[in-house]
Amino acid sequence: MHRLVVLLVAGACVTSIFAGLSEEERDCERMKMCTTRNASENVDSCTSAFYTMYIYNENKSECEELPKSICYRTEYYGVFFTLFDCSHTCTGGKGPKYCTAGPYEPANDTCTVKERSWYDHDENSTEPNVAWFYNASSEECAEYGTCKDPWRLPNDVNGYSKKYFCEKKCDKFTAYSIDGSVNGSGSVNCTAEPTAVCDCGEEQDGWTRYFYNASSRKCEVYKACDNKWPKGQRLFNYFVTNRSCELECGDYNASNYEFDVSARDDLSSQEDNYLDV
């Protein structure tokens, strides 16, 4: 269901113009950042593919999956490619509890009653279907067998049809960090090395990310690779946008981050104060 987010509410945040924000001011700016978004189906004459994306739900104080795939866009638009990136940016690292649960409806070696997937044409087969679950201890997605149809599993369980979907929802969460922190900056370490830096030659496959350089006292861009993500860690010098980096660690100037109305294609002229999300 679509909701209307009133941009004028953002004016309720009264913050210092530069760094040295109080925790309350930082929380207020983070709320503005995470709720000012464009999650419309298309944007900027989209020519990219459609993907499952995630947003911050301010009513639940948690990140959630959009009900429909949308044309890919960067986090500048307030939507995120993975649930972890949304949680790390907006909720102090709080993730879905099902990521730490066991695999959903695991099977033994055979199925007495089997839900058949669209690709299963052997009506006599009793072999379990292949599904994926997130192992929070090893911090990896792993295969398992189930008599359920992997393509029709509930949305809030630890079971997926493909490794890809498992990683988008649960990758990088751990059993001891899944609850996040009361402090929205609870998953941030401003003095650590940048997280998951790509090896030389891997940069073209990496994500454009930001880290805070304590020596230069500036946020700087780098390339992060998922295969370099450190296991067993809960504090990160890793940000999906320069704005998030400056808010948590640097000299944050709120006036630098006025939302660009021209970036939105889902509004008519009489709706300039709203984002349809």
Long-range contacts of 203-207 (CB under 8 A, 24+ apart): 207/240
The SS3 call for residue 246 is helix
How is 161-210 classified by DSSP, letter by letter?
SSHHHHHHHHTT--TTTTT--SSTTTTB-TTSPBTTBPPTT-GGGSEEEE
Per-residue pLDDT of 48-62, as tens digits, reads 788 999 999 999 999
Per-residue pLDDT of 167-224, as tens digits, reads 999 999 998 888 887 666 678 999 999 999 999 888 888 999 999 999 999 999 999 9
- pLDDT score recorded for residue 7: 38
Q: Would the pLDDT of 232 be above 70?
A: yes
Evaluate whether 240 touches 63 at the Cβ level (below 8 Å): no
Residue of 129 and 119 predicted with greater confidence: 129
- pLDDT score recorded for residue 271: 32
Distance of CA 260 to the CA centre of its chain: 22
Q: What is the mean pLDDT of the chain?
A: 83
- Res. 234 pLDDT band, cuts 50 70 90: confident
- Domains in the chain, CATH or no CATH each: 24-34+51-94 (no CATH), 97-172 (4.10.410.10), 188-256 (4.10.410.10)
Q: Would the pLDDT of 8 be above 70?
A: no
Q: Per-residue pLDDT averaged across 15-21, rounded?
A: 50
What's the CA gap between 178 and 36, in Å, rounded? 25
- pLDDT score recorded for residue 20: 66
Q: Per-residue pLDDT averaged across 104-108, rounded?
A: 96
Q: Per-residue pLDDT averaged across 259-272, rounded?
A: 38
What's the CA gap between 106 and 98, in Å, rounded? 15
- pLDDT score recorded for residue 119: 78
Q: Per-residue pLDDT averaged across 234-254, rounded?
A: 91
Q: Would the pLDDT of 14 be above 50?
A: no
Residue of 118 and 142 predicted with greater confidence: 142
Q: Would the pLDDT of 113 be above 70?
A: yes
Q: Per-residue pLDDT averaged across 119-139, rounded?
A: 90
Residue of 235 and 220 predicted with greater confidence: 220
Furthest C-alpha separation in the chain: 68
Residues 6+ apart with CB under 8 A from 242: 210, 219, 221
